[in-house]
Amino acid sequence: MNLRQLEILRAIVRYNTTVAAGQALGLSQPAVSNALKTMEEQVGFALFQRVNNRIYPTAETKILLADAESIFEIHKRLESRIKDLRDNRAGQLRVVATPPLGYGVITKSIREIQIRRPRVRTFFDVRRYEEIIEIIETNQAELGFIMGFAEHPGIRSEIMFEGEMICVMQPDHPLTNNTTVTPHDLLKHRFIALEHGTKLGVALRHAFDEAGVDLNFAVEVRYGLTACVLADAGVGVAVVDPLTASSAGRFSLVSRPFTPRIPVAASVVWAENRSLTRLAHTFLNEVRIHLQEQAV
């Protein structure tokens, strides 16, 4: 006996007649009667007693329907889950990001998803560039957000933000009098440099080479957010990407354009052999909104 037959059986018991059951289910009375006949042939015993043109469920039918209620409940939950998935109100989202994105726009986007779709479970981690590439390659996460993505076999990407690195400092720092900051300007002040092994660190050193200035630093750090923390503490000035500077908004830092210009781009990456879920596309739209606000 399949689920549709059980629905017909339950409707007949609930409405007492095959006519009323048919109306409730959108079926004709003959269709309901034929279905009832088929069910009785399948189970091998009568499901209803017929008295004066009325039908009454047998004890066996009541037992069957009592046991079937759990099936209807499971089916109801399944339909509800399908609706939630269709409307992106439920599901799982696995996201990884490098610090410039992970501590700013991605956390804001996760917050919005959780507010609007509280039944969505999000798995989120902040990792290094190389680790994110490996995580995406091995399908441990659906979306990765990184700065300075270089083409990689088996990985698709989309540039979501483009900007230029900026110099950050305390509000009373002498460099706030500059309209722009150059490597020559930084020679006179304690400088917090980004680690040489990082993509942004390499780009920063290239800019110093282009200006014909040796990069002398007081402190070297791996992440731009660490540089912002130190700059806010008065350790020195730093040159970081604009997304990191934005995520460090809780500090009292001010910024100035840095020349020679160092272009930076933020990208989302995903496995080429994996189709993005509707929930992932919804999340990407949230990220785009926050990045557009950042660009204003």
For the cut 60, the answer to whether the pLDDT of residue 90 exceeds it is no
Domain end residue (candidates: 43, 66, 84):
84
Per DSSP, helices labelled H in the chain are 3-15, 18-25, 29-43, 59-86, 99-102, 105-116, 129-137, 183-186, 199-210, 224-232, 242-247, 278-295
Residue 232, pLDDT score: 94
- On whether both 98 and 156 belong to a single domain, the answer is yes
User: How many residues comprise the chain?
Assistant: 296
- On whether both 128 and 239 belong to a single domain, the answer is no
Domain end residue (candidates: 33, 55, 84):
84
- On whether both 23 and 108 belong to a single domain, the answer is no
Residue 21, pLDDT score: 84
Rounded to 5 degrees, φ, ψ at 196 are: -60, -35
- On whether both 95 and 74 belong to a single domain, the answer is no
For the cut 80, the answer to whether the pLDDT of residue 16 exceeds it is no
Rounded to 5 degrees, φ, ψ at 205 are: -65, -35
Q: CA 263, 266, 272, 276 torsion: positive or negative?
A: negative
Least confident of 63-72, 95-104, 163-172: 63-72
Half-sphere exposure of 207 (CA within 13 A, CB side): 26
pLDDT tens per residue across span 138-152 = 999 999 999 989 899
Domain that holds residue 33: 3-84
Q: What is the total count of domains within the chain?
A: 3
- 180: closest CA among 193, 204, 191, 164? 164
pLDDT tens per residue across span 229-238 = 999 999 999 9
